[in-house]
Structure 1
Amino acid sequence: MKKFLLLILTLLMSMSIFAAEAPDLFVRKIADEVFEILKTDKDLKAGNKEKAYKITEEKILPYFDFDRISKLVLGKAWPAATKDEQEAFKKEFRTMLVKTYGSALLKFKDQTLNYKPTRFQPSDEEVLVKTEILKSGAPPLPIDYMLEKDGDSWKVFDIIIEGVSLVTNFRGQFGNEIKQNGIASLISKLAEKNADSDKAKSNK
């Protein structure tokens, strides 16, 4: 009887693992949806930044693990920060990424996305999904996604563009500011940069 119950338990666990969405299909689903919007949305084709920001906020960033990304980016400064500072940093950092990636969406014209084979085991908690953006007359632009298991789906916790990690890049930038002036100064500068971006947009 015990062996039978153990067999049933093992089977159920295996079924739950394989029921999880495959990481490469997860990336493909999101990317295909965004690329379809880029191809058909008239506002984006006209250079509407507000629309680009909205798409980034609604179609891309919900699949990012901002808690983990923020911790990785700040490194040792994260546990040293107060709860209010942590929340303020996440807010300004997220806003900055919305504006950065939203503006990048407007540069997409006739590009296509190529998905490379993904090697992973059903039990893997973290997986690297490799893609590349293709454009006629230009070399492929490699963009890789580091994913972590999130229930039956996945979350992005790092993006690697042409071999450069988003987390590592920002950790270096922010680390210098924190070391010289403290995390409060970093948060203030991020907020100022985000505000300047809004002013520049309103003046156009």
Structure 2
Amino acid sequence: MKQLFSLFAGLFLLCGNAFSSEETPDALVKRVTDEVLTIVRADKDIQGGSTKKAIELVEAKVLPHFNFTRMTALAVGKDWNKANPEQKKRLAEEFRTLLVRTYSNALTAYKNQTVVYKPLKMQPGETDVLVRTEIRQPGQQPVLLDYGLEKQDSAWKVYDVVVAGISLVTNYRETFAQEVRAGGIDGLIASIAAKNKQIAEKAEKKS
């Protein structure tokens, strides 16, 4: 399952243009996914495994369209309420870095997958929706890839990615809970930071 997250979570990468507040979340997902995959297909450095180039793309195009505070709160679960404001800030920063590196690694692994978009089930005035897609690759079973989006002011923000029915952010919950039990909130922060350092060191060795 971790391989699925690593491979497919990065396929939904949002472009940094300003979008109309009237654009539906499924139209947003389709348009920007197609745009970003076009960039990836044309970028020889990313296809060649350049993590640095992939991170630059993620930093520039993805981050403004994700609600990392809510994503972190979902991942930490009930222990989120144990954290003070500064700890919450640090947790969100470290978790953001972890997800950025996961998405960047997925970009460098992109080959010839295609995305099929499912009809959106959305009621008028609804501000929290699930956009459903399917990832297809020759010779393999399709993988369901869904996105939880919420509307903040006039913009839709991603707060979860669901692969084959399993939430990306809540998939971390038990591991994070164990870290909190062992070392408190500060222990969890240190653990995520150490993981980020480990991933960064591996990326440097590859480059």
TM range (shorter): 0.7 to 0.9
Does the CA contact (< 8 Å) of 2:21 and 2:155 recur in 1? Answer: no
Deviates more, 1:101-110 or 1:72-81: 72-81
For residue 19 of structure 1, report the CA deviation from its aligned partner: 5.7
**Cα offset, 1:71, TM superposition:** 1.6
Q: Deviations over 1:33-80 (max 9, x none)?
A: 211111111111211111111122222232111111122222222222
Distance 1:182 1:102 in 2: 29
Does 1:162 pair with 2:190? Answer: no
Give the Cα–Cα distance (whole angstroms) in 2 for the partners of residues 190 and 26 of structure 1. Answer: 31
In structure 1, the residue matched to 2:194 is 192
Q: Structure 1: where are the runs of 5+ without partners?
A: 1-17
SS in 2 for 1:173: helix
Report the structure number with the largest CA radius of gyration.
1
Give 1:1-204 correspondences, 5 Å limit. 20-204=22-206
Q: Could you give the per-residue CA deviations for residues 140-199 of structure 1, whole angstroms, max 9, x where no partner exists?
A: 111100111122331111110011101221112211211222111111111111112222
Give the TM-score taking structure 2 as reference length: 0.85
Does the Cα contact within 8 Å between 2:132 and 2:145 map onto a contact in 1? yes
Q: Which moved more, 1:194-203 or 1:85-94?
A: 194-203
Matched length: 187
Q: Give every structure 1 segment of 4 or more consecutive aligned residues whose post-TM-superposition deviation is greater than 4 Å.
A: none
Give the Cα separation in 2 of the matches to 1:162 and 1:56: 23
Give identity over the alignment, percent.
Answer: 42
State the Cα distance separating 1:98 from its structure 2 match: 0.8
The RMSD of aligned alpha carbons is 1.6
* TM-score between the two structures when normalised by the length of structure 1: 0.86
Q: 1:104 to 1:19 in 2, by over 3 A?
A: closer
Q: For residues 69-122 of structure 1, what are the alpha-carbon distances to aligned partners after superposition, in whole Å with 9 as ceiling and x for unaligned?
A: 122222222222122211111111111111111101111111111101111123
Instruction: Quote the Cα distance in structure 2 between the aligned partners of 1:151 and 1:35.
Output: 28
What is the one-letter code of the residue matched to 1:195? K
Distance 1:173 1:21 in 2: 37
The unaligned stretches of length 5 or more in structure 2 are 1-19
